[in-house]
Amino acid sequence: MFENFSIKKYSDNPNQYRSFIEIFRKKTFQEGNESLSYKKYDPDSPDIETWMVFNEDNNLISVSAGEKSHYTNDPDIALRICRYHILKLFRRTHCGLMMAEYQIQWAREHGYQILYVTHDIKNRAINALYQRKKKMPFKSFKKWTEGEWYKKLQLEKNFLFKTGPMYQYVYSIRLFDPNFIWKPKSDHIVEKKHNGDI
């Protein structure tokens, strides 16, 4: 049940994949996740690319999107990875890490300088993982520690990301120049020096 996955990109066949997305979207609502709500997410938007993980039974089990970063006012420089959800039955399959390697490659091919993701500062488990302070107990996770996402993702220590009342850490990968200085400016960026320990 947890093997033989395939990763597809929505734009390769929107007519085929739209029905899968809609079924999956309803399942995420049932699981209490609203990140794929109709107000927040349209897979046909030209500013979004969606990656999907299908299992061996051709069921869509996970979705992650890359959005041009209007939040940081640099949509031609930064790609925000978001809208991630994996169905509860498949939580230990590391679908996010599977898709991440494809997303990094795609972002480079499209000329982005930065790929980034944000996480609630209160989510200690995810932040410990992204800061490489926590070892995952699953043997299946080990191979993903060799990927670029796991090795190169770095915490932005000069600012936080804010949506509504929530403050989030920002984690990024420099896609070309490791010394590229990223200084996003918007109402969503709160300048604050930190070490990921807020």
Residues of the chain with pLDDT under 50: 1-2
Q: List 186's β-bridge partners, or say none.
A: none
Tokens for 1, please give them.
Answer: 């049940």
Res 1: pLDDT: 38
Res 139: pLDDT: 63
Which pLDDT tens digit goes with each residue over 129-172?
A: 899 887 765 566 677 678 899 899 999 999 999 999 999 999 99
CA distance readout (Å), 156 to 9, 134, 169: 28, 18, 7
Res 4: pLDDT: 83
Share above pLDDT 90 across residues of the chain, in percent, rounded to a whole number = 81
Tokens for 30, please give them.
Answer: 């049932």
pTM of the model: 0.92
